């Protein structure tokens, strides 16, 4: 159990690497009573600690009674920066992105499987209510988990990302909520290489992933509605009550809406919606079909 950024992360040996993750339990957690689990994945260049601050998922877990786990990706060894506490620049292998994890073909899906197995041994987790959420590269990794672990994840929440290029053959339906800013210059709506992209590798159009999951889930025709600067597109009526939602924020940049701006040089988070409670509400409404 963790309560602040000074608490050491849990360690897990996976392959030839020591991997790490931080677990946050809600105050009302009672061993033996199954609760939902959210796997919250940081963006490229981030880490588990920064992800807790950026998303505020721990506070939402306290309000709503679920466990949240923040795993760390992998990155280059930087002894000097590590000694100064500034060397944790991690990425996820989401297929064609990103960074160290992709270049070294890190088995992040295997790591997440092993982490979940350890969490199930240590905590009481409802197997029908396991979810993944991520920002940017972490959102891309969430899509990959849905592709390769559709038997585990009931739904995913994606912010400022795209479903990167690799073969996706999910065995089961998975509900998806995706939030994106129209002015995102890191992961642009139309795909390609954004003006601010750190990885100079083309990304597919954002709607390709959204529409892929609407088709795979067997959803009906899209329905649109708007509020303020947010246009919501919903695909309902999928198998096992699965749904897909896409929230487009007019003028929104590459940031976690309603969350923390981690550096002054980064885009300011939109205040048109708060991503974390919205994602959790979607998750809570979409358990895996019995």
pLDDT in tens, 100-136: 999 999 999 999 999 999 999 999 999 999 999 999 9
Which pLDDT score, from 0 to 100, does residue 86 have? 45
φ, ψ (nearest 5 deg) of residue 207: -70, -15
CA pair distance 140, 178, nearest whole angstrom? 11
Asked if 255 contacts 54 with a C-beta cutoff of 8 angstroms, the reply is: no
The mean predicted confidence, pLDDT, of the chain is 92
Mean pLDDT of 52-66: 97
Mean pLDDT of 142-160: 98
Fold of 10-284: Rossmann fold (3.40.50)
Which pLDDT score, from 0 to 100, does residue 80 have? 42
> Where exactly are the structural domains of the chain?
10-284
Stretch (H or E) spanning 190: none
pLDDT of 3 above 50: no
Q: Is 45 helix (H, G, I), strand (E, B) or coil?
A: coil
CA pair distance 168, 164, nearest whole angstrom? 10
Cis omega (within 30 of 0) on the bond before 58? no
Which pLDDT score, from 0 to 100, does residue 200 have? 86
pLDDT band at 165 (very low <50, low <70, confident <90, very high): low
pLDDT of 84 above 80: no
Question: Which segment of 26-35, 57-66, 261-270, 274-283 scores lowest on mean pLDDT?
Answer: 261-270
Stretch (H or E) spanning 249: strand 244-249
């Amino acid at each position: 159990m963790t309560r602040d950024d000074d608490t050491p992360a849990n360690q897990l040996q996976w392959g030839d690497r020591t991997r790490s993750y931080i677990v946050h339990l809600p105050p009302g957690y009672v061993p033996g009573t199954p609760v939902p689990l959210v796997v919250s994945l940081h963006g490229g260049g981030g880490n588990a600690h920064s992800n807790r601050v950026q998303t505020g998922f721990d506070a939402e877990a306290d309000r709503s009674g679920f466990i949240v786990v923040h795993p760390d990706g992998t990155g280059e060894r930087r002894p000097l920066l590590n000694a100064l506490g500034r060397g944790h620049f991690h990425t996820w292998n989401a297929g064609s992105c990103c960074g160290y994890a992709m270049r070294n073909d890190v088995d992040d899906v295997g790591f997440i499987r092993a982490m979940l197995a350890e969490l199930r041994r240590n905590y009481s987790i409802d197997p029908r209510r396991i979810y993944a959420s991520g920002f940017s590269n972490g959102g891309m990794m969430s899509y990959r988990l849905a592709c390769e672990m559709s038997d585990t994840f009931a739904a995913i929440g994606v912010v400022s990302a795209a479903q990167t290029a690799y073969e996706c053959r999910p065995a089961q339906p998975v509900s998806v909520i995706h939030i994106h800013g129209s002015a995102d210059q890191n992961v642009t709506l139309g795909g390609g290489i954004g003006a601010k992209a750190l990885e100079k590798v083309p990304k597919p159009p954002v709607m390709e992933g959204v529409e892929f999951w609407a088709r795979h889930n067997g959803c009906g025709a899209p329905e649109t509605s708007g509020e303020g600067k947010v246009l919501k597109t919903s695909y309902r009526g999928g198998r096992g009550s699965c749904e897909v939602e896409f929230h487009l924020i007019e003028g929104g940049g590459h940031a976690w809406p309603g969350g923390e701006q981690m550096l002054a040089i980064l885009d300011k988070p939109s205040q048109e919606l708060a991503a974390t409670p919205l994602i959790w509400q979607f998750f809570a409404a979409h358990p895996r079909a019995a």
